Amino acid sequence: MFTKPILQTARSGLMMGVAAAALVVAGTVAEAETIRWARVADALTMDPHSQNEGPTHTLNHHIYETLVGRADDGSLTPRLATEWAISEEDDTVWVFQIREGVTFHDGTPMTTEDVVFSLDRARTPPSGMAALHAAVQEVTAVDDTTVHIRMSGPAPLYVQNLTNTFIMSKAWAEENGVATAPNFAAGEEAYSVRNTNGTGPYMLVERDPEVRTVLRAFEGHWDDAPAVTEIIYTPITEAATRVAALLSGEVDIVQDVPVQDIARLEQTAGVRVVRGPENRNIFFSYDMTSESLASSNAEGNPFAVPEVREAMALAIDRNAIQQVVMRGESQPSAAPLPPFVNGWTEEMDAFGDPDIERAQELMAEAGFPDGFSVQLDCPNDRYLNDESICQALVGMLARIDIQVDLNAQTRSLHFPLIENWETDFYLLGWGVPTFDSQYVFDFLVHTREGSYGSFNGSRYSNPELDQKIQALATMTDLEERDALIAEIWDEVMEERIFLNVHNQVLAYAMRDGINLDVHPENQPKMTTVTFD
Amino acid sequence: MLAFILRRLVQSVIVMLTVALVAFALFRFVGDPIASMVGQETTLAERAELRDALGLNDPFLVQFWSFIARAVQGDFGISYRLQQPVMELILSRLPATLELALVSGVLAFVFGVGFGVYTALRRGNWLSGSIMTVSLIGVSLPTFLIGVLLIWVFAVELQWLPSFGRGDTVYVGDWWRTGLLTESGRASLILPAITLGLYQMTLIMRLVRAEMLEVLRTDYIKFARARGLSSRAVNFGHALKNTLVPVITITGLQMGSIIAFSIITETVFQWPGVGALFINSVRFVDVPVMAAYLMLIALVFVVINLIVDLLYYAVDPRLRVDRANARH
């Protein structure tokens, strides 16, 4: 793969695209079409259950399939399951109708036994997916097309947890000694890390970790043949190189476009940029419970005073952050959840102009007329422009005399601070893979106990609210449940547990003539690519 | 002789152990690997369990000892990030780095000596002047910037050379994957090799130039000219030959740093070598890979120094006499 030939294939590829489009109209697709796809990081493993991680799932979605899929608008779509519902006799049982006529890449047919095996493998440690299936008690194949999943109680939203849980072949897994997910501590490489046998639209042809992965369309796939017949997936870590590779015609699609390059790429002939909201919002939170703050000179805990939290909300200028820090590439919002998540309302999202005078009054009322000092912990390599967002906030809070000492560091040092309750004031980004508010409450609002509240760095604890959050898990009447969600949000917004900044926006850049929409989970599928 | 070699070997082992100890002490400040190993749904109890299973809660010296005990058996564990055995991972990436280092080392040596001789002989002409100026840029610009500039000019604007990767590779033997035998592999090598070798080239060039200027002033060169030898014989047969001894020593020692400092070049060009592997491992806090990489680099330096020492010992009789007198 080198310059001249690449340019030629790119050009002839374009021609073929035109030809293919013409053929589609005529009713047949014959031409081969290759997409060279670059993003910042490679999948960590090809094992379908070992890692619950974005790039890993994104690549695996092409090789393996899930029972239900997630469309670009966030809704669920049938994939290996054609229908799903809560059993009419027993509200703790989910019933899945499994698609017929599906075969694995090795030619064997997929059965309900494979589905049962895969779900069991996914929910058994050391699988990285186990936490999503903690409420599952038993998975059974009722007949050739029906699978029952028995939960520990009613679980109306469980199906939302299945969008990244892949189905693999039982016989293949047992033959190759990977009947359980690979173990980090085991000390040897599992067969499934570099070999696959899924039912997905593409087969793994070549896997050279962190160099290149080649996938080819699987002819025995149950669905319509995709326009893209070959995928060459290359991780390119360095942002400048990634963009250069697109401009030089060496790759066709760049998934992680640096914010500062978006505007320039849009003005480049032959390149187009598509944008869409990501399922991730960025917010600040603070220890609002402890007696005093370790990093503050204030007496007592200023964040525990509601007026201080309100003053901070009045001091933050979200629009300025959007324009200056994000160069327009974000959706400023006061709601600590992305707009397509169940429970989001426009009221939560809305925010007024910053009002420094009023904020200063509130600070005085709270007993901090001269402000206070505090340390802000911030990651510098996890979210888009994360450190710059924190820097902007430092300036904004200085206007109400809060002297913020910024501590920006790498993600592996930042997140343990939240986990260990060693930060007074921090930035966090949160995605909601279940597309339901309960996920936010479980991890960020509920008192930290058991599987709840692991990212609740505010130490917020409200037993009454905890009860409501727990009740959500088993409510099957969705209207009643939505009302309860709204009630919980009212309380959370009232208490100002989060100081939300914005929702992240994703941008993909690609050669002209290629169409690919932004996926809210940042999991684009090459099957959805069309050519002009 | 044998005693000397043994003594050097013992010293090398001590150096390796020290490097391992320092590396392990540093890992404590890199962060918590668990955060990047598990999904956000993982409960705190499960995180603690994994941390325990990986031995991350053990006291520092226990972790260090178990690492050393396994390392001497050639077992560096399994990568937290890629779930492959570390030894296999590093061996599979090593050829890429060695080829890049070798090619850029050769480029640096050939062009460094060539330019050095030219600028020494043709002082004051415009070409010498411009070579000297460009070489100043070579030492003063950061590697990262040089790489990006080269990509911009030769990959994006001119579209002559690829901007990233190693091109097509073929296996030579069981595990050595080379890009030198394919057209795209050779094309991919050019820009990274220039980026990595530019600094060394400048260094060698300036060294050769200074040495040449020194030698050209000596009496035996004047005498050679007086004898009526051709300037070619004088410049290359006598002058250059006598400047090359220190140049070869420096070049040999620089090979170690080329391998070690290929990290930045590999990152910019997405070159699949051990340097890029190391950087990605640091981001992920992949302790087994980081530890093995640092040991490897220490080994490279130790081996090169050992060879250089042994060569001196063999070449320079004075050293032998000194040591014999000192009765070590």
Highest-confidence segment of A175-179, B169-173, B280-284: A175-179
The confidence band for A490, taking pLDDT boundaries of 50, 70 and 90, is very high
C-alpha dist (Å) from residue B18 to B21, B83, B296, B305: 5, 28, 13, 16
pLDDT at position B252 over 80: no
Are A209 and A75 contacting, i.e. CB atoms less than 8 angstroms apart? Answer: no
What per-residue confidence (pLDDT) applies to A125?
Answer: 80
User: Across residues B38-65, what is the average pLDDT?
Assistant: 82
Residue A324 CA to residue A369 CA, distance in Å, equals: 29
User: Across residues A152-181, what is the average pLDDT?
Assistant: 92
How confident is the model over A211-243, as pLDDT tens digits? Answer: 899 999 999 999 999 999 999 999 998 889 999
**Local structure of B43: helix, strand or coil:** coil
pLDDT at position A25 over 60: no
Q: Which amino acid is at A490?
A: D
What per-residue confidence (pLDDT) applies to A27?
Answer: 39
Residue A13 CA to residue B263 CA, distance in Å, equals: 35
CA-based nearest residue to A258, from A244, A270, A248, A268 = A244
Nearest CA in chain B to A161: B41
- DSSP state for residue A449 in the 8-state scheme: B
Tell me the percentage of chain B whose pLDDT exceeds 70: 95
How confident is the model over A236-278, as pLDDT tens digits? Answer: 988 899 999 999 999 999 998 988 889 889 999 899 999 988 9
CA distance, residue A42 to nearest chain B CA (Å): 10
Residue A225 CA to residue A209 CA, distance in Å, equals: 27
Q: Do A448 and B44 touch (CB under 8 A)?
A: yes
Give the burial string for A36-69 (b: 16+ CB within 10 Å, else e): bbbbbbbbbbbbbbbbbbbbbbbbbbbbbbbbbb
Contacts of B80 in chain A (CB under 8 A): 184
Q: Which residue has the tokens 């936490």?
A: A131
Q: Do B159 and A210 touch (CB under 8 A)?
A: no
User: Across residues A337-361, what is the average pLDDT?
Assistant: 93
The confidence band for A362, taking pLDDT boundaries of 50, 70 and 90, is very high
User: Across residues A474-495, what is the average pLDDT?
Assistant: 92
Nearest CA in chain B to A57: B39
Q: Pick the more confident residue, B319 or A322.
A: A322
pLDDT at position B85 over 90: no
pLDDT at position A15 over 70: no
Structure-token pair, residue B147 = 């790489």
The confidence band for A311, taking pLDDT boundaries of 50, 70 and 90, is very high
- Residue A490: how many other CB atoms lie within 10 Å: 13
Compare CB distances from B163 to A125, A248, A411 and report the shortest one's residue.
A248
Contacts of A419 in chain B (CB under 8 A): 35, 44, 47
- Residues of chain A numbered 99-128 and touching chain B (CB < 8 Å): 125-126, 128
Q: Pick the more confident residue, B217 or A183.
A: B217
Q: Mean pLDDT in chain A?
A: 89
Residue A269 near chain B (CB below 8 Å): no
CA distance, residue B121 to nearest chain A CA (Å): 39
Residue B77 CA to residue A184 CA, distance in Å, equals: 10
Cβ contacts of A101 within 8 Å, gap of 6 or more: A109, A222
Residue B265 CA to residue B101 CA, distance in Å, equals: 11
Compare CB distances from B148 to A210, A240, A248 and report the shortest one's residue.
A240
Tell me the percentage of chain A whose pLDDT exceeds 90: 71
Are B178 and B98 contacting, i.e. CB atoms less than 8 angstroms apart? Answer: no
Cβ contacts of B144 within 8 Å, gap of 6 or more: B264, B268
What per-residue confidence (pLDDT) applies to B324?
Answer: 53
Give the angle subtended at the CA of A305 by the CAs of A301 and A307, to the nearest 5°: 140
Q: Which amino acid is at A458?
A: S
What per-residue confidence (pLDDT) applies to B59?
Answer: 84
- DSSP state for residue B237 in the 8-state scheme: I
Give the burial string for A448-487 (b: 16+ CB within 10 Å, else e): beebbbbbbbbbbebeebbebbeebbbbeeeeebbebbee
pLDDT at position B58 over 90: no
Whether complex ipTM tops 0.85? no
**Local structure of B179: helix, strand or coil:** coil
Are A204 and A46 contacting, i.e. CB atoms less than 8 angstroms apart? Answer: yes
How confident is the model over A68-108, as pLDDT tens digits? Answer: 999 888 889 999 999 999 999 998 999 999 999 999 999 99
The answer, yes or no, to whether the previous bond of A126 is cis (omega within 30 of 0) is yes
Q: Do A209 and B82 touch (CB under 8 A)?
A: yes
What per-residue confidence (pLDDT) applies to B272?
Answer: 92
**Local structure of A270: helix, strand or coil:** coil
How confident is the model over A131-148, as pLDDT tens digits? Answer: 889 889 999 999 999 999
Q: Phi first, then psi: give them for residue A464, nearest 5 degrees.
A: -65, -45
How confident is the model over B163-209, as pLDDT tens digits? Answer: 999 988 888 887 888 888 888 899 999 999 999 999 889 988 999 99
Cβ contacts of A12 within 8 Å, gap of 6 or more: none
Helix axes B143-150, A239-247, angle to 10 degrees: 10
pLDDT at position A3 over 80: no
Q: Phi first, then psi: give them for residue B286, nearest 5 degrees.
A: -85, 80
Residue B87 CA to residue B96 CA, distance in Å, equals: 15
What per-residue confidence (pLDDT) applies to B321?
Answer: 56
Q: Do B46 and A125 touch (CB under 8 A)?
A: yes
B63 sits in which H/E element: helix B60-71
**pTM across the whole model:** 0.84
Which of A1, A246, A448 has the most B C-beta neighbours within 10 Å, making it the best mutation to test the interface with B?
A: A1
Q: Alpha helices of B170-286 — where are they, by DSSP H?
A: 183-216, 219-226, 231-232, 241-260, 262-268, 274-284
Residue A210 CA to residue B121 CA, distance in Å, equals: 48
What per-residue confidence (pLDDT) applies to A10?
Answer: 42
A280 sits in which H/E element: strand A271-286
Q: Pick the more confident residue, A490 or B244.
A: A490
User: Across residues A327-349, what is the average pLDDT?
Assistant: 92
Contacts of A241 in chain B (CB under 8 A): 148, 151, 163-164, 268-270
CA-based nearest residue to A119, from A143, A147, A92 = A147
CA atoms within 13 A on the CB side of B121: 13
Q: Phi first, then psi: give them for residue A238, nearest 5 degrees.
A: -80, 125
Residue A220 CA to residue B105 CA, distance in Å, equals: 51
Residue A431 CA to residue A282 CA, distance in Å, equals: 9
CA distance, residue B273 to nearest chain A CA (Å): 10
What per-residue confidence (pLDDT) applies to B5?
Answer: 82
The confidence band for A4, taking pLDDT boundaries of 50, 70 and 90, is very low
Residue A40 near chain B (CB below 8 Å): no
Contacts of B43 in chain A (CB under 8 A): 131, 450-451, 454
What per-residue confidence (pLDDT) applies to A223?
Answer: 92
Structure-token pair, residue A497 = 């547990």
pLDDT at position A319 over 60: yes
Cβ contacts of B78 within 8 Å, gap of 6 or more: A184, A186, A187, A188, A189, B84, B85, B86, B288
Compare CB distances from B159 to A7, A47, A208 and report the shortest one's residue.
A7
Q: Pick the more confident residue, B55 or B162.
A: B162
How confident is the model over B91-110, as pLDDT tens digits? Answer: 989 999 999 999 999 999 99
The confidence band for A351, taking pLDDT boundaries of 50, 70 and 90, is very high
What per-residue confidence (pLDDT) applies to B188?
Answer: 92
Residue A195 near chain B (CB below 8 Å): no
Residue A286 CA to residue A309 CA, distance in Å, equals: 9
**Local structure of A514: helix, strand or coil:** strand
pLDDT at position B325 over 60: no
